[in-house]
Amino acid sequence: MSYQGKFTDTGLSDAGFRKKTQRTSSVSPEKDDLGIVDIIADDLRLRRLTGRVRLVVYVFFAAAGVGAALISFMIEENVFTHFTGQARLAFWMVLVLETAKVGGHVVYTPENIAPSIYVRMLPAVRIFLALLVGISFVCTLALLSLHLDRPRLEETRARDLAALADSRKTAEEGLIAAHSRSAESLRNDFRRRTETERNILLKNHQSRLGELNRKLDREMNNVVKNSFDGPRYKAFEQRITAENTAHAAEMAAFQRRVRSDEAAVERRIREREIAHLKRLNSLREEFRRRRNEIEQNDYAADERASNPMLAATLRTLNTGIFTPLTGSAMPEVIFAALFSLAVALALEMAIFICLRVVNLSAPGTGEGRAG
C-alpha cells in the first residue's frame, strides 16, 4: 500500500496528502519516509484528542439534559399530585409526558428522521412539544409560586385566628364575670340592708319590751291587800301586748318592703342582664367581623406570611433599584411570578439545548459518521 493510501485510510483527503507531501519534497530521500510517518502520527493523535473532547461534551450535556428532565419530572409530578390527589396517576401521566418531550428533542431531528417525514410532521411535532413545554412552565410556576408567594400565609392566618379566639374568650369571660359580680353585689347589698333593718327593728322592740317587763316585775312587788294585780299591773300588761302587736305589724310591713325591694333589685338585675347580653352580642359581632377580615385578608403586605429570603431580597431591590428609578416598590407577587417564569424557562431551555448538543456531538455523527 502506498503512503497516499495510508493517508486515505486515516481520513486525509488527496489534497491534504499532496499539501503535506509537498513540504517534504525538498527533503532527502533518506528522510522522506520518516517525515511522512510523523505526519500520520500527528494526525492520529489529533483525531484521538478530538474524539475524547467529543465524548466529554457528549457525556456532560447528556448528564445535564437528563438532570434537567428529571428535575422537570419531579416538579410536574408534585404539582399533578396536588391537582389530582392521586399520586400513582400523577406519576404515570408525568412519566409519559416527560418521556415524550425528551424523545421529541432527541429523536425528532433532521439527523435521525428521513427528510420527507421530518418536513411533513414538523408542524405537528412543534405544536406537541410546545404543549409539553407549556405544561412544564405552568407546573414550575405553580410549585415555585407556592413557596415564593406568601408561603406562610395559612400559618400566619391560623396564628391570627387563634390569637383572636383567645382574645374573644378573655373578653367574653371578663364581661360575664363583671356582670356576675354586679348582680351578686346588688343582691349582697340588698341582703345587708335588709338584715341591718331587721336587726334594728328587733333591737328596738326588745329594748321597749324589756323596759316594760322590768316595770311589770317591779309592779308585782307592789302588793296591796295581798294582791299585785292592780290597775297599774294591768296597764303594763296591756302596754306589753300593744308593743307585741305593734312589733308584729311593723315586721309585717317590713316584710312587705323587703319583698318590694327584692323585686326592685331583681328588676335592676334583669335590666343589667339585658344590657349585658347586648354588650356580649355586640362583642361577638365585632369578633365575627374581625374574623372575617382575617379570613379574607391576603396578607400581601404582611412580612410574617412572606418568604424571609424573598422579603429581604425585595427590600434590597426596592431600596437600591426600583424605588429610586420608578418611585414605587415591586410587589412581592410580581417578583415571585417573574422569578418562577425565569426558572421555568431556564429549565426548559436547558433540556432543549443539552439534548440538542447531545445529538450533534454523539459518537458517529458529523465527521465520524462521514468517515
* Domain definitions of the chain by residue range: 3-151+330-370, 156-296
Which pLDDT band, with edges at 50, 70 and 90, does 11 fall under?
Answer: very low
CB 128 within 8 A of CB 135: no
290 Cβ neighbours under 8 A, 6+ residues apart: 164
pLDDT exceeds 60 at position 283: yes
Instruction: Provide the terminal-to-terminal Cα distance of the chain, rounded to the nearest Å.
Output: 19
- Cβ burial of 306 (10 Å; 0-12, 13-18, 19+) is buried
Alpha-helical segments (H) within the chain: 3-9, 14-22, 29-84, 87-107, 115-148, 153-220, 231-296, 308-317, 323-326, 332-361, 367-370
Q: Residue 19's pLDDT is what? A: 47
Q: What is the pLDDT of residues 331-371, one digit of tens each?
A: 777 887 788 778 878 888 888 888 777 777 665 554 444 34
Q: What is the pLDDT of residues 44-96, one digit of tens each?
A: 555 555 667 777 777 888 888 888 888 888 988 999 998 888 899 999 999 98
Q: What is the pLDDT of residues 214-268, one digit of tens each?
A: 777 776 666 555 545 556 767 777 888 888 888 889 889 989 999 999 999 999 9
pTM recorded for the entire structure: 0.53
Q: Residue 42's pLDDT is what? A: 59
Q: How far apart are CA 224 and CA 353, in angstroms?
A: 145
Using DSSP's 3-state secondary structure scheme, residue 227 falls into strand
pLDDT exceeds 60 at position 28: no
- Give me 184's grid cell: 351578686
